[in-house]
Amino acid sequence: MGWIIFLVLIAILVLYGIMIYNNLVTLKHNVSKSWSNIDVLLKQRHDELPKLVEVCKQYMGYEQETLEKVMKARSAVAAAREGQNIPALGAAETQLRLGLGSLFAVAEAYPDLKANTQFQHLQDRISELENSIADRREYYNESVNLNNVRIEQFPDVVIAKQFAFGSFELLEFSEEEKADVNLKDLFGKG
């Protein structure tokens, strides 16, 4: 009778270990899936930005610096995205969002540009992508947080270490990105 109880306890522990392992696998794949969702949106925005810059170039001859900042930040985002370098992506995203904010603010000074239907369409499309990226970023960070907490909790930590489950980095943007664009600085008026 003692052997049966012992075997039942071992079976329960093994099943519990399998359940923990499967939950950790699910969390890891949720992080990957949420990153893939962000990646798709970043690629779409990456493809739209040159079109926006080209339309703006036709109207904003004296705003080359603003356009160049956007394109430089676009390249930095692409490099960080391709390398899946989350901290670099956060920094590059901050610069790109600041550049886009400046671009849209400067565009206010060009009535013909603002009236251009292609510009309006691209501005709306990029704004829509920005909102979607923000939503997906929130989901990604939540997935990362759930994964990171679980791999540190007991008894999950035992299984996580045994099978080399690792932590992931949050996708964070700097405080600069959250600040309003200073229109006085953009237009050189003090």
**Residue 9 located in a structural domain:** no
**Residue 2 located in a structural domain:** no
pLDDT higher than threshold 70 for residue 160: yes
What does the pLDDT read at residue 175?
58
pTM, whole model, 2 decimals? 0.77
**Residue 171 located in a structural domain:** yes
**Residue 7 located in a structural domain:** no
Return the CATH number at 151.
Answer: 1.20.1440.20
> 49 and 70 in contact (C-beta within 8 Å)?
yes
Q: At what angle are helices 2-59 and 117-150 packed, to 10 degrees?
A: 160
**pLDDT confidence tier of residue 154, bands split at 50, 70 and 90:** very high
What does the pLDDT read at residue 9?
93
Q: What does the pLDDT look like over 35-79, one tens digit per residue? A: 999 999 999 999 998 888 888 887 776 577 888 888 899 999 999
**Residue 83 located in a structural domain:** yes
Domain that holds residue 159: 18-187
28/36 Cα distance (integer angstroms) = 13
Number of domains in the chain: 1
**In the chain, what is the straight-line distance between the N-terminal and C-terminal CA atoms, in Å?**
89
**Residue 5 located in a structural domain:** no
Q: Exposed, middle or buried, 101 (CB in 10 Å: 0-12/13-18/19+)?
A: middle
Higher pLDDT, 151 or 185: 151
**What DSSP string runs through 60-97?**
-TT-HHHHHHHHHHHHHHHHHHHTT-HHHHHHHHHHHH
The residue whose two tokens read 């949720």 is 30
What does the pLDDT read at residue 184?
45
**Residue 1 located in a structural domain:** no
Q: What does the pLDDT look like over 91-138, one tens digit per residue? A: 898 889 888 888 888 888 888 887 888 888 988 999 899 899 989 999
